[in-house]
Amino acid sequence: MPEGRINKEHDLGYKHLLTHKKTFIQLLRSFVKEDWVKEIDESQVMLINKSYVLQDFKEKESDIVYRLKIKGRNVIFYCLLELQSSVDYQMPLRLLFYMIEIWRDILKNTEHHEAERKGFKLPCIVPIVLYNGVNNWTVCRSFREMLDGNEIFSNHVLDFNYILFDVNRYEEEELLGLANLISGVFLLDQKIDSEQLKDRLVKMIEILGDLSEEEFGLFKGWLKWILKPRISEELRFKIDDILEKSRPTEVENMVYNLANTIDEMTQKAMEKGIEEGLQKGIKEGVLKVAKSALEKGADIDFVASITELDIEIVKKLKEEIERTK
């Protein structure tokens, strides 16, 4: 499957998870080690059902925007899911543009007399990037680093830092230790082979068994988004069947059934690779025989008949031999 399509599936899979409010808060509380995270009022968490599309980035749009209250204050968290295999060096600029669009929208929907009063304040925006690429995220983490000569002007230039969740940089032990839905998702989304995937699924049996019915449903939905695009049509039905029938009380059966399906997927891929290798070898061998016969003066039609090659291919081989003489 093309890389772009797989990345799209990842995007949809994470959106499915993180538009669930409790999972988004779990993401913050699991990986952001700052005091304000503890002050989030869960009863006041609101998903903003709106996309902010930028003219400068026509194929990009803000993915998830939340409004949360901390100590009675409105704070907007803007979450951008960066799921490509390569880093995006324009990310700080994109984040700034999105933040401005959010503030612009707030001002547009605020009464004019209210926006102009002395005490009016815009809400804070905390930008977040979730990245699951293989390469290290080498993009600057503060906006001012994008500005040439920023050190000259000190505090007079615009600056902000964004939060980065770099999925592949978390240690397996840390993710297993957190033992929750989002850490389990990161554990399986890291760049691992099929054997590691099976091993980690088995290690997660206890974690999955402790998930609520709602969380377990979210996990199955995410796994379906991520796993199915990588396997054949035939095995997709098996994955569907395993996940649809699984309940939190049957986690062990689900994991081992998935492991068996992954084994089957690996075996089929291996057999396909062997078959393609054999076919390539046979073709190369036939071409070698044809070339040898032509070099010894055999007739084009005769070579085509004994090798069962298309006559045009034999003619090209003949022309190649003539050029190299």
| Predicted local distance difference test score (pLDDT) of residue 32 | 95
| Predicted local distance difference test score (pLDDT) of residue 241 | 79
- Under a CB-based contact definition with an 8 Å cutoff, are residues 126 and 77 in contact? yes
Q: Mean of the per-residue pLDDT values for the chain?
A: 81
259 pLDDT band (50/70/90 cuts)?
confident
Q: Exposure string (b/e) for 27-59, b if CB count within 10 Å is 16 or more? A: bbebbeeeeeeeebeeeebeebeeebeeeeeee
* Interstrand relation of 163-166 and 73-82 (parallel, antiparallel or unpaired): unpaired
- Helix H segments across 193-299? 194-203, 205-209, 213-227, 233-245, 251-295
- Under a CB-based contact definition with an 8 Å cutoff, are residues 67 and 74 in contact? yes
Weakest mean pLDDT among 95-104, 170-179, 269-278: 269-278
pLDDT in tens, 18-46: 889 999 999 999 999 999 999 998 888 88
pLDDT exceeds cutoff 70 at 323: yes
Q: Percentage of the chain surpassing pLDDT 70?
A: 82
1 pLDDT band (50/70/90 cuts)?
very low
Q: How far apart are CA 273 and CA 241, in angstroms?
A: 27
pLDDT exceeds cutoff 80 at 227: no
266 pLDDT band (50/70/90 cuts)?
low
pLDDT in tens, 283-300: 767 777 778 878 877 777
pLDDT exceeds cutoff 60 at 206: yes
Q: Could you state, in order of their start, the residue ranges of all structural domains in the chain? A: 1-169, 174-324
Distance, CA of 78 to chain centre: 18
Give me the mean pLDDT over the 111-139 stretch: 90
Give me the mean pLDDT over the 205-213 stretch: 89
Give me the mean pLDDT over the 252-272 stretch: 71
Of 234 and 5, the structure prediction assigns the larger pLDDT to 234
Give me the mean pLDDT over the 49-71 stretch: 68
